Structure 1
Amino acid sequence: MAKRSTSLITVAVVVSFATMALTFAWLRLTSGEEEADVYEKKTIGQRFHEETTLTWRKATAETLSFKINRPAQFKTYSDAETLALPKPSFQGPSFENVLQNRRSKRNYSTTPLTMVQLSQLLFAAQGSTGKSFNTLLRTSPSGGALYPFEIYPIVHNIEGLEPGIYHYDVRRHQLERLMTGDIRREITAAGLQQEMLGEAAVVFILTAIFDRSRFKYGERGLRYIYMEAGHISQNIALQATSLGLGSVPMGAFLDEAVNHLLGLDGEQEAAIYLHPVGVL
């Protein structure tokens, strides 16, 4: 009789634990479904902010992966014709006056830019300012000094320079000619028919190679990339003001159309920001 009672108690305990386990499993399942439902209801912007939020766990994992399979620091077009740029100048109006006078300007004259002005604008955007160990430092700050951005000047009206698509080689402060021809119609269409894209003397397309930042910072690196686009664009705007030129940063464009224009896949490298500059 005692053995039977012990067996019944054992069975009862097992059934109790099994019931508890099933209950916890069901609660976890329903909780997971509720969390998934909440996640699906969030906007893309909310998801982006959530997925790029930094935690101690993420920070530790990213530190461990640093310097493994680091992407190339520079992009070059080895088959492209190169064109030297004038050396940048380090004289101009006071910084305070430039800040005071900076405005977004969307209407430009037909007067061409000079090569000196183009050189100055490119230097302000991403020019080399020195070295730290094996890193080429630039005029704009970058998370981890990783510099994910490339600059493609779309030339419409610059003295001594054929219209077309160019790439800025930051290491040598020179241009790489990718294509010649008038593409005002194409860039204007890609920019939702905003006329300043065709009227400007030059349109700077800022593109990001995402893995340059992501390999160290993970998805958090995407936040840094969008911040850095603002740093670079502000430098262009301030330099344009210093030169007496007009400019405006533009975020409204058809991504696929701009990427196609530059021959980019839109995944490894993609257009992030447009910045037309012209003579007032």
Structure 2
Amino acid sequence: MTDLDAVRAYHALSKHHPERFAPGPGRLDWATQPAPFRRYAGARLIELWQRPLEESPAYDAVFAGPLGNPAPLNRASLSQLLYDSLALSAWKEAGGSRWALRVNPSSGNLHPTEAYLMLPPGALEERGLLVHYTADAHVLEVRAELPSALGNSLHTVLSADGCLLALASIPWREAWKYGERAYRYCQHDLGHALAALAIAASALGWQVRLLRGVAEAGLDAPFGLDREGFAEAEHIDCLLWVGPAQANEPVLPQALLDGLAALELDGRPNRLSRQYREWPELARVHPLCRAPALSPLSWEMAPGCASADNPGLPLRPLLHRRRSAQAMDGRGGIDVSLLRAWLARLLPDHSPVPFAVTGEPAQVDLLLFVHRVQGLAPGLYWLSRSGLDPEALAEGLREDFLWERADDVLPLYRLLEGDARGLAEFLSCGQDIASDGCLAVAMLARFDEALEAGAWRYPRLYWECGQIGQLLYLEAEAAGLSGTGIGCFFDEAVHELLGLADSRWQSLYHFTVGRAVWDERLSTSPAYPEPRLPPV
């Protein structure tokens, strides 16, 4: 069996069906619930700051490209980047239980994604640093101070006042609840984080771009994740440039990577669970999907459209107010003009932030279940984000789909008219939240075409879905509504709806938007006890 065959086998194994779910734990073992925060005991801490949320750029402006002159790389700007992308947003409490919410969404609020930064000399301190960001305290944990030679080499590579940021995943955090399907959730959570970082960076005049020139399997060692002491596996999934816009990807010399891999590290990683269960296919698929060293792509970015759909609305309060709704009221609707604005935001050419992060073409289209949109008949619609025309889209799908143009500007096509609420609910594992919103979405990936490049493209399809999900969350909040990502859906039932007889399209993530019904038994408290303001 080839690597690609094994990835396809994993994808099939991890599908939900009406008669059976993907292999999972069956019940939650609360005694082994993973700790939500990675900490390194004994590591030196660098406190970060939080500027008042009122000090904010306009929401609409950040999607067209980096705003204004780039901020200098220092403690204040790094504090703001992480606060607006990966930090806590609030604490919730009910019945003696207390849990944190974060700026970046996560499946089941389990948060498998961790962040590490490689900072050049002079950014925070005189020496270069390898640090881990911990959201519970909004601090950096110093894992290593770089020797002068390594620091100088890193400074040469990052001469444009930028830094390297690596995102890692801890699969056990998701597998504890979701079993073999957890790899999917880790990857679209990483997509949420990519979008959150790109948007927060744009507000600072920075770009976030994926580094392709280093094989992903070679990233664990430079960031210290190959060392002894990790009771639960953690691996780097992507390495990012964060800083002023660049035309080309910086080249990381192998000598620099080898030197970083040989560093003596401070801090001991905490154990997240008293014990954990190995899910064999989950462990198998991860190394198969790690990207090899790839040819760099140009980082030149065409500016998007700085629309004014939400004039005067500030960005940062929205980032920190974003929540996942647990129930919708089944009555709230929207006007078609608002839906048009949402869908335009999701087009890569309109919003290079965040969709230009990987440099790869869009591979995910949207199947819309329209329930309550004034000015648009209820039914099924297709948004062609990938640029295919109706003739190409219709190939291999149901012959009774209409493919009628439903908008003069957007590539939006009407497939079928009628009440799709029951259908959306059934396909989303019987969850009424999919029928009670104003619309639901199934994210459909051009699966076969993407995998022609190799198994490494599999997780990146989920990254794209996660980016779309993060924008839907923010657009909903901007409209005074709420969104919810839906990871539980009947994969093949969606494909049967489309009339698919092959795997050219695969549904990878569902979403719903509507008017939330909040549980009044829950109490809310601030993310951090007291704001740490930067010095004047």
- Shared topology, TM-score over 0.5? yes
Distance change (3 Å), C-alpha of 1:146 and 1:187: farther
Q: 1:178 aligns with which of 113, 135, 143?
A: 143
TM-score norm. by structure 2 comes to 0.39
Quick check: 1:113 aligned with 2:73? yes
What amino acid maps onto 1:101 in structure 2?
G
SS at match of 2:64: helix
The CA deviation string for residues 228-270 of structure 1, in whole angstroms up to 9 with x for no partner, is: 1111111111111111123213466323321011221497100
* Seq. identity, %: 25
Quick check: 1:76 aligned with 2:39? yes
Moved over 6 A (4+): 184-188, 195-198
Quick check: 1:218 aligned with 2:218? no
- Structure 1 vs Structure 2 CA RMSD: 3.0
SS at match of 2:42: coil
Q: CA deviation at 1:101?
A: 2.3
SS at match of 2:90: strand
Q: Distance in 2 between matches of 1:279 and 1:101?
A: 11
Counterpart for residue 140 of structure 1: 104
Q: 1:249·1:276 contact (CA, 8 Å) conserved in 2?
A: yes
Q: CA deviation at 1:60?
A: 8.6
1:1-280 equivalences in 2 (<5 Å): 43-55=5-17, 57-58=20-21, 61-90=24-53, 91-101=55-65, 112-133=72-93, 134-156=98-120, 158-161=122-125, 162-181=127-146, 183=150, 201-250=162-211, 253-265=214-226, 268-280=233-245
What amino acid maps onto 1:279 in structure 2?
P
Q: 1:187·1:258 contact (CA, 8 Å) conserved in 2?
A: no
Distance change (3 Å), C-alpha of 1:201 and 1:114: same
TM-score norm. by structure 1 comes to 0.71
Q: Which runs of 5+ in 2 are unaligned?
A: 246-536
The CA deviation string for residues 104-162 of structure 1, in whole angstroms up to 9 with x for no partner, is: xxxxx9x9502111011112231010112322111011000001111111111554423
The CA deviation string for residues 22-75 of structure 1, in whole angstroms up to 9 with x for no partner, is: xxxxxxxxxxxxxxxxx7696343223213212353369534145352222211
Q: Which runs of 5+ in 1 are unaligned?
A: 1-38, 104-108, 189-194
Q: Distance in 2 between matches of 1:68 and 1:52?
A: 25
Distance change (3 Å), C-alpha of 1:61 and 1:150: closer
Q: 2:22·2:181 contact (CA, 8 Å) conserved in 1?
A: no
SS at match of 2:222: helix
Q: CA deviation at 1:102?
A: 5.1
Q: CA deviation at 1:89?
A: 3.9
SS at match of 2:82: helix
What amino acid maps onto 2:32 in structure 1?
N
- Answer with 1 or 2: which has the greater Rg: 1
Q: Distance in 1 between matches of 2:180 and 2:199?
A: 30
Q: 2:112·2:169 contact (CA, 8 Å) conserved in 1?
A: yes
Distance change (3 Å), C-alpha of 1:255 and 1:42: closer
Q: Distance in 1 between matches of 2:135 and 2:21?
A: 32
Q: Distance in 1 between matches of 2:23 and 2:180?
A: 14
Counterpart for residue 6 of structure 1: none
Q: 1:157·1:202 contact (CA, 8 Å) conserved in 2?
A: no
Distance change (3 Å), C-alpha of 1:76 and 1:115: same
Q: 1:89·1:120 contact (CA, 8 Å) conserved in 2?
A: no
